[in-house]
Amino acid sequence: DSGVTQTPKHLITATGQRVTLRCSPRSGDLSVYWYQQSLDQGLQFLIQYYNGEERAKGNILERFSAQQFPDLHSELNLSSLELGDSALYFCASSERDGEQYFGPGTRLTVT
């Protein structure tokens, strides 16, 4: 158990809908990262927050947004969902650079 929690475990929704994925980092970690894992693209970095501020951005779609709250938990919002957004979404946290610990993931299925 990495200490990073994610909810929900599974999410099934229809195209055009909006969903919110939630992540709680390990105790003491200030950085939260979001990654998307699909069969064809592998694990892809989406975005990083550090102590409430956006720190780095990857190839995150404009339909996707994230935020980190004062209690350090983070949410990833996915809107106008398309079939191609079906994937595993992971949250990771770290105290410092490099050593990122991953949560169990949220499996999103868009039908």
Partner 1 sequence: QKEVEQDPGPLSVPEGAIVSLNCTYSNSAFQYFMWYRQYSRKGPELLMYTYSSGNKEDGRFTAQVDKSSKYISLFIRDSQPSDSATYLCAMSARGGTSYGKLTFGQGTILTVHP
Pairing outcome for strands 31-38 and 19-24? unpaired
Query: Is residue 34 at the binding interface for partner 1, with CB under 8 A as the rule?
Result: no
Phi then psi for 84, rounded to 5 degrees? -70, -10
- Among 51, 56, 63, 80, indicate the residue that binds partner 1 (CB under 8 A): 56
Say whether 83 sits in a helix, a strand or coil. helix
Stretch that binds partner 1, among 17-25, 63-71, 74-82, 88-96 (CB under 8 A): 88-96
Query: Is residue 102 at the binding interface for partner 1, with CB under 8 A as the rule?
Result: yes
Tell me which long-range contacts 97-100 makes (C-beta under 8 A, separation of at least 24): 100/31, 100/33
- Among 19, 66, 87, 105, indicate the residue that binds partner 1 (CB under 8 A): 105
- Among 42, 53, 62, 70, indicate the residue that binds partner 1 (CB under 8 A): 42
CA atoms within 13 A on the CB side of 92: 21
Phi then psi for 49, rounded to 5 degrees? -120, 145
Query: Is residue 88 at the binding interface for partner 1, with CB under 8 A as the rule?
Result: yes
Query: Is residue 61 at the binding interface for partner 1, with CB under 8 A as the rule?
Result: no
The contact set with partner 1 (CB under 8 A) reads 2, 4, 31, 33, 35, 42-45, 48, 50, 55-58, 88, 90, 92, 94, 97-105, 107
